[in-house]
Amino acid sequence: MEILRRSVVVIICLFAPLYMSAQTLGTDEMAFSSSYKLETAGDYAKAILAIKEINRPESYETNLRLGWLNYLVKDYVSSKVHYEKCIQQMPYSIEAKFGLVYPLAALNSWDLVVSQYQNILKIDALNTTANYRLGLIYYNRKNYVEAIGYFEKVVNLYPFDYDSSLMLGWSKLLSGKANDAKLLFKKSLLIRPGDASANEGLAKIK
């Protein structure tokens, strides 16, 4: 009988961590569910509290959620801190790096935004979002030659994409490559017939 009792105790001890883990998972799931509903309702402050109540300061998922919610309430410094924690925890996370870009841009830390996109490209050299956004940044800085390199990567992957074809056309035109620009503007008009920006570009070439 004593052996039987010991066996029961051993079994309970073995399965207790699993039971506790399942309870924790259920609590976390409910907190996230509540947070999503509150976010949808526009109550971002309470959505943040719902996540904080589960007290998982070292959780990647918790920090990612808090990074986004703090961005929504315009607490950009806190948002930045949470996204940076995510990157510390999972250095190859592209989603966390894209998340970090939001508060950095809101804080006008554009050099850090550029660094973040470049970090993404070190992991995923053909990431179209990072390439396109870097192209836009360099275009707005009037560094058209640099912009061309990023836009070309996107156009090579998606030759019939309107935004990247148009921006590559303008970058080519403003860097003195009118013939290339003309072809790109004409292609942009095939994608979006009658487009004002493409027609404007063509008018400058004539």
Task: Give the per-residue pLDDT at 131.
Answer: 98
Q: How many other CB atoms are there within 10 angstroms of residue 86's CB atom? A: 24
Global pTM reads: 0.84
Question: What single string gives the DSSP state of each residue in 106-124?
Answer: HTT-HHHHHHHHHHHHHH-
Closest CA to 181 of 160, 156, 150, 203: 203
Task: Give the per-residue pLDDT at 158.
Answer: 98
Mean pLDDT by 10 residues, the chain (206 residues): 44 43 69 96 97 91 98 98 97 98 98 98 98 98 98 98 98 97 98 98 92
Task: Give the per-residue pLDDT at 57.
Answer: 86
Whether 82 contacts 66, CB under 8 Å = yes
Task: Give the per-residue pLDDT at 21.
Answer: 46
Q: Whole-angstrom Cα distance, residue 154 to residue 132? A: 7
What sections of the chain are H helices per DSSP? 2-40, 44-52, 60-72, 76-89, 94-106, 110-123, 128-140, 144-157, 162-174, 178-191, 196-205
What is the CATH number assigned to the segment(s) 127-206? 1.25.40.10
Q: Whole-angstrom Cα distance, residue 26 to residue 78? A: 27
Structure tokens at 53: 């109540």
CA atoms 125, 126, 129, 131: torsion sign = positive
Task: Give the per-residue pLDDT at 12.
Answer: 43
Q: Whole-angstrom Cα distance, residue 38 to residue 46? A: 7
Q: Whole-angstrom Cα distance, residue 33 to residue 174? A: 49
